[in-house]
Amino acid sequence: MDWMWKWAARARNLIFRGRAERESAEEMEFHLEMEMQKRIRSGESPSAARRGALIDFGGVERYREQVREHRWGHRLDTILRDARYAVRLLARNPMFAIVTLLTLALGIGGTTAIFSVVNTVLLTPLPYADPGEIVRLRQSWEGVPTASISPAEHLDYVDKLDVFSTYGSYTYGVANLTGDGEPERVAGVQASAGVLPTFGVQPSRGRFFTEEEDQSFAPVVVISDALWRGRFAADEDILGRTVSMNGVDFEIIGVMPPGFRLPELLLAGGGSQFYRPLGITQDQVSVRGSHFLSGVGRLRPGVSVEAAASSVERVASEMVRDFPDAYPREMRFAATTVPLAAEVRGPVRAPLLVLLGAVGFVLLVACANVANLLLAQADKRERELSLRSALGASRGRLVSQMLIESVLLALLGGALGLGLAVILLDLGSSLVPPSLSWIGSAAIDGRVLGFAMAASVATGIGFGMLPAIRIGGRGLSAAIREGGRGSGGTRGGQALRQLLIVGELAFALVLLSGAGLLTRSFLTYVRVDPGVRVAQVVSARLALPSARYGTDEEITAFFRELEPRLRAIPGVIAAGAVSNLPLATTLGDLNFRIEGREIPEGGVSPRADWQVVTPGYMETMGPPLLRGRTITSADDASSVGVVVVNETLVRLNWPDEDPIGMRFTLGGQAGPGLVTVIGIVRDVRHEGLDQPDKPQMYLAHDQFRFWNGGGAATGMNLVVHSSLPLSELTGPIRETVRGLDPLLPLSQFTSMEDVRAEAVAMPRLLMSLVGAFSLLALVLAAVGIYGVVAYAVGRRTHEFGIRMALGAKPRQVSAMMLGQGVRLAGMGIALGFLGTYLVTRLLSTVLYGVSPTDPVTLTGVGLLLAAVAVTACWLPARRATRVDPALSLKVD
């Protein structure tokens, strides 16, 4: 029960502080009166009685203060009082407040914005059940660190691995949806039965397909929530309905929960609209060389990633042992497992950490600037602080007051910064291209709020510590003696400020170097010639449904007919089709055997990435022909098989011979398979501008069915070369296709310029953001050094007056101040180069075509910073020369 009295008393005294004060005063007054009356009764005069009572009491004010200090809420009270005082100080000095808060808001806001992206992308668990148990099964070959899995390999893993509770393989695909509503081309997934259970997802209605349905390639499909709500208007009786995909009827057996995405799409964006059986059966065990699957497994309880990896490695080595033809030793086939999260985050980890580091540097520069402002402010307040000290404020009390002021500043700045972060994220997500849309998914959650709060408090203590320590360490009586006017501020204070400036300049230089290197890297990157025409080319995707285009002849006839019609569109210069769009897709590869050349014992059969093209493709996009001829409409099903190869393929296989007219056999497939080299073209950076050149070959669409074992390619990218913009071409292209087949949907209309922009989106983002950060740091550092020199000039006006009265020339005085600034700049830049040397090597993973110690860039940014710093010193130093000796001596 008593604890209630205790807290009631504490709370009462805290909340009704005024009343408690009053009661305490009244109580003491009552005491004094009683004592007085007693004394008067015993014969003392009223005035003597009053005096005696007071003496016996021992100082009313003193005890009232003690009562106050004994109050439980006293500490809090002090803090609040200091905070109120700090707010009043800020209000009295609005310029200081604005500059400080803005600096802090920029620093904390930028850091918070980047952290929220890091938080969402790197720190939040993947959106699957127990994501830590999911691993990616990864195969690799010599020179190909991450390779796809073939159907036969998939079956091996399913049969032989016991480390997974579920395992599955899947591949992305597209399908033309027809039947109810408009024909629609949608992206989806073909997955083995184990895939969706591996992700621990449950259908929101219905069920997933079974192992049996998977292997029998049953016409069943699970559709996405979006497709269900969109195309099927959220039909409650959706289960059992059929949807026509590529002309085949599939029964809808389930609907996915909203928002589910396979790991590749988590960052890339976009979704899969359907999930249908992969349909790999034991019959396909021969298909070992066609790699197109991605594998995922969920670890059995108690199995570590390492254990799973060694198990997978063992299965892979068994494959190599059992099928030496398929896995030549030199190709160094291997397989392993990696945590899924590591794979998903891998590509963005380094860039994000670079950004976080960069913005952290900005925060440090901002801190240094604010600390400088506070130091200057503290110097001005020395009289006040000395006075308070003389009146009995303890040193700890003053230090805590200074800290409370700076933490309050930082919290205010942090609040502003949080608002800024929200704006920046919003702005960022609207500015980045679709491939970086995950940036927009960053949200301010509890952790981000905590981060902003912690950053603010740490910042406040960080920059508040210096002035506070100075007060703590310095004899305050010295300050009183010196008065407000010393010569050039106190020596310690000035040294501290100079140290801060040197640090600030050093950080700014590191940032500038990073920005410079990233800019150079970006410029190198965009200047890379992709090998194909990018300007004035638009593209659209199209797939012929197998139900209506059942034979190879129907398929090839369609494209043969389409090409001239596209070219007939007014304003179109050339048109064609290609199986994989450069810069946006990856290519599959095929091995081949050169006629008359035996593969030596233990040797490797050559491989090349392949593309299927229509006759118009080379004319539309290139790559430029170097020798021989390109594929024409004469290279059809009835003529001899032809192939166009790239420079790298020639260099690898015919380094000293003329390849034109040479023949090779493709893959191990049925059919004639023999193609003749008719031309050599430039290399194409198909999979990315920074990828190394690979052997590539181009096969004629009309002939491809002979060696792919399946049929003619049905899914192709139309490419059109025209000076007209994309918006004016989509209509005519749609019309043209509709003229041939009114039910055929076109999708993914895009210009190749946009495709390239996507390919360079990340380097561009890094360059822009780090560039912006470094500019901010540069401005802050310039303001900082300006402030320090201007302050020193201001404090030493008196001294300059004396110097000039004694005969010093204005030029000498300003040179002295300029010299001081230049010395600081020099030290900062030297220190900055040291920092750059240590830090920019971390950049090497995100740099392309430029060394982290590129001398041109580093010299350039060093000169830039030096120029800015000297200008920032020169402006206030010049003012020193305008001192009127007579006037300056009269001041004070």
Partner 1 sequence: MARRKPDLLQGTLTLLILQTLAREELHGWGIAKRIQEASKDVLTVNQGSLYPALQRLQEDGQIRSRLGETESGRAVKVYRLTSSGRRRLDVEAENWRLTSAAVNDVLQAI
Q: Could you list the residues that contact partner 1 (CB under 8 A)?
A: 1-3, 5-7, 9-10, 13, 23-24, 26-28, 30-31, 34-35, 56-60, 62-64, 66-67, 69-72
Min dist. Cβ of residue 126 to partner 1 (A): 52
Q: Which is nearer to partner 1, 70 or 527 (CB)?
A: 70
- Phi/psi at 753 (nearest 5 deg)? -60, -40
Strand partners, 274: 223
d(CA 781, CA 870): 12
Nearest to 646 by CA among 615, 683, 613, 611: 683
Those residues whose C-beta lies under 8 Å from the C-beta of residue 805, and which sit 6 or more positions away, are: 885, 886, 889
CB of 81 to partner 1, least distance (A): 19
DSSP structure class, residue 706: G
- Complex with partner 1: residue 78 or 730, whichever CB lies closer: 78
CB nearer partner 1, residue 46 or residue 603: 46
Nearer to partner 1, 60 or 353 (CB): 60
CB of 32 to partner 1, least distance (A): 9
Shortest gap between Cβ of 407 and partner 1 (angstroms)?
A: 28
Which of 5/237 has CB closer to partner 1?
5
Sequential DSSP letters for 536-591: TEEEEEEE--TTT--SHHHHHHHHHHHHHHHHTSTTEEEEEEESS-TTTS---EEE
- Omega before 623 within 30 of 0, i.e. cis: yes
The nearest distance, CB 388 to partner 1, in angstroms, is 23
Residues 6+ apart with CB under 8 A from 537: 620, 621, 719, 720, 721, 751, 752
Tell me the C-alpha distance between 560 and 632, whole Å: 11
The smaller minimum CB distance to partner 1, of residues 8 and 743, is found at: 8
Q: How far is the CB of 400 from partner 1 (least distance, A)?
A: 22
Closest CB 20 distance from partner 1, rounded Å: 9
Q: Which is nearer to partner 1, 29 or 884 (CB)?
A: 29
Closest distance between partner 1 and the C-beta of residue 17, in Å? 13
CB of 72 to partner 1, least distance (A): 5
> Token pair for residue 353?
């950490």
What is the nearest approach in angstroms of partner 1 to the Cβ of residue 204? 57
Would you give the distance in Å from CA 302 to the centre of its chain? 34
Q: Which residues share a beta bridge with 594?
A: 664
Cβ(501)–Cβ(785) below 8 Å: yes
Our CB check for partner 1 shows the closer of 71 and 686 to be 71
Q: What is the SS3 assignment for 139?
A: strand
Output 34 or 454, the one with its CB closest to partner 1. Answer: 34
Residue 871 host element (H or E): helix 855-881
Q: Which residue has the tokens 């904390």?
A: 108
Q: Say if residue 498 is exposed, middle or buried (CB neighbours under 10 Å; 0-12, 13-18, 19+).
A: buried
Rounded to 10°, the helix 810-839/491-527 angle is 50
Q: Is the Cβ of residue 9 or residue 887 nearer to partner 1 in the bound state?
A: 9
Q: Which is nearer to partner 1, 59 or 127 (CB)?
A: 59
> Least distance to partner 1 from the beta carbon of 68, Å?
9
The structure tokens 């927009």 sit at 440
- E strand or H helix at 716: strand 715-722
The closest of 529, 481, 472, 456 to 104, measured between CA atoms, is: 456
Cβ closest to partner 1, residue 5 vs residue 655: 5
What is the smallest separation between the CB atom of 779 and partner 1, expressed in angstroms? 53
For residue 381 the two structure tokens come to 């307040």
Task: Name the token pair of 551.
Answer: 């034979």
Least distance from partner 1 to the Cβ atom of residue 460, Å: 31
Using CA atoms, how far apart are residues 46 and 41, in angstroms rounded to an integer? 10
| Nearer Cβ to partner 1 (33/249) | 33
Could you tell me the smallest distance in angstroms from the CB atom of residue 421 to partner 1? Answer: 43
Query: Long-range contacts: 434-439, Cβ < 8 Å, 24+?
Result: 434/269, 434/758, 435/268, 435/269, 435/758, 435/761, 435/762, 436/761, 436/762, 436/765, 437/269, 438/120, 438/121, 438/266, 438/267, 438/268, 438/269, 438/348, 439/117, 439/765
Q: Which is nearer to partner 1, 30 or 450 (CB)?
A: 30
CB 759: neighbour CB atoms within 10 A?
Answer: 25
Q: And the tokens for 107?
A: 């620093």
Contact predicate 680/591, CB 8 Å: no
By beta-carbon proximity to partner 1, the closer residue of 20 and 118 is 20
Least separation in angstroms between CB 40 and partner 1: 15
